[in-house]
Structure 1
């Protein structure tokens, strides 16, 4: 009788564990997707959402660049988490966000935090404390995100005056709070292969990776002499670093760095796609692509939609 009760209890416990495992999201299930993402607004050259071609068969994310917790470009000073708009807000307005999303049901719009610089100075991550920075960031970003009807955030801090654990706690708690409050639906990070940068982002990933939906890894930060084989090796390294994450491939449309579209980028992407590892493509940036009519954006989206991208 006692053995029967014990057996039944163990069976119930096992069934519960299986049920939880089935329902729990797992980053290890990452596979090919049709996600295309593009940064826009950083260069102030008048580019609009409507200028960019949008393939209806892809998921499409615009990423506004940038929201920065500094006060101005003329004599920039940090504001401890009080974010302000530093993208081309004259051409990329809340009304235009609503319009492009209404015209294209597959479009979502996010904003990116930090970036390389503000004015002629670096944009540093330098909170006064985790508590004060987080409070200010949640308040200021909630206002901007609601005003613009945005869907997510991207983390692109590249310079730091805080240790990696402070960065991890501030950013991780920010993503957690914004998601929990229903302010955002997704979050991404945008690291590149620098020891200081990776040190901070890997600390964040270790503690809060389960909250991060995409890794916009800046593969274009590698040298322009990068070959297809090297690109694949770099990709595998970052898959190991951000284990279980959706690592997006990337290129810079000015073709000044990294593996470029004309030198094998799409070949590398097709190789990853054949291996079920092409989790998406992102581009820096629409502002630069405007001059050549977004040729590579069309090719990228066609590849993601599994069409003949060479035509």
Structure 2
């Protein structure tokens, strides 16, 4: 293994946009080889199970972000001017947006149709779709590992004909589901955004050891480490632990990239706006 990842990647989730005027392009560090914005979330509709009162997904996805702020024209501009890619993230945060299909085959069919509509109709310009990829980001999963891998796998297979980038966003509570999906579709998944902020990571050694364990499943080339600036995600891993751990992983060529969630929360980050984003990209390009 070389001492440096050749083309590190940085990814930024946009979750909510009340305070944003559009894509926060000031985040983009000129020396970062690959930069992705992830629009979150394309979420599905649900019905209630009359017996269990649980939410059952129907697979009809719609964009929940501000489509006027993040229009096809604005995406085309950020891609052409900054070389960034734009990905739509499917799912949602917490129990309000579970993966729990009412009927697997109907869910798959609806998901294909509704996501294709977003990608090829809602986000098209004269040159075709401006969307580069999708990100699977369910934080709460009610179905079995097998059903999750089967349904999401079928949708990934279909959408790969329309877009080039597919990522998944596992966290500790649902890790086994994403492992099952990845093992079923290793050649279809380009990036793995692991949410370290969803579990207690007390020190640098724990962080480094956890990342190296996850490499065994997801590979060093695809596994990215995630940090969150969202107030609801504070407390599990400190910025100091994350940065020091990232440095150690980079020095051993064990970290291909970093992602941060989310841009709106990072507006108020200390000691300055988008501090974490800037620090992370400098680490990745070894220019800190």
Partner of 2:127: none
1:226 aligns with 2:202: yes
CA distance in 2, matches of 1:257, 1:63: 24
Q: What is the correspondence of 1:11-160 to structure 2 with a 5 Å cutoff?
A: 32=5, 33-42=7-16, 44-46=18-20, 48-58=22-32, 59-70=34-45, 80-105=58-83, 107-117=84-94, 122-146=96-120, 147-148=122-123, 149-160=130-141
The answer (yes or no) to whether the contact 2:90–2:137 under 8 Å persists in 1 is yes
Larger radius of gyration: 1
Partner of 1:184: 163
1:236 aligns with 2:215: no
1:307 aligns with 2:287: yes
CA distance in 1, matches of 2:91, 2:261: 15
Cα distance, 1:130 vs structure 2: 3.0
The answer (yes or no) to whether the contact 1:71–1:78 under 8 Å persists in 2 is yes
Moved over 6 A (4+): none
* TM-score, normalised with respect to structure 2: 0.84
Q: Quick one: structure 1 residues 90 and 161, their matched pair in 2 at CA, closer, same or farther if it must change by over 3 Å?
A: same
CA distance in 1, matches of 2:243, 2:275: 13
Partner of 2:146: 165
1:250 aligns with 2:230: no
CA RMSD across the alignment:
2.5
The answer (yes or no) to whether the contact 2:56–2:102 under 8 Å persists in 1 is no
The answer (yes or no) to whether the contact 1:213–1:246 under 8 Å persists in 2 is yes
Cα distance, 1:131 vs structure 2: 2.3
Partner of 2:180: 203
Unaligned runs of 5+ in 1: 1-27
Partner of 1:17: none
CA distance in 2, matches of 1:47, 1:290: 12
Cα distance, 1:239 vs structure 2: 1.4
- The structure with more helix, counted as a fraction of residues: 1
* TM-score, normalised with respect to structure 1: 0.78
The answer (yes or no) to whether the contact 1:41–1:47 under 8 Å persists in 2 is no
Q: Quick one: structure 1 residues 276 and 303, their matched pair in 2 at CA, closer, same or farther if it must change by over 3 Å?
A: same
Partner of 2:51: none
Query: Number of aligned pairs?
Result: 267
CA distance in 1, matches of 2:220, 2:11: 20
Partner of 1:193: 172
- The structure with more strand, counted as a fraction of residues: 2
1:192-245 Cα shifts (integer Å, max 9, x gaps): 112xx122112112211221111100011122x621111101112211233566
1:174 aligns with 2:172: no
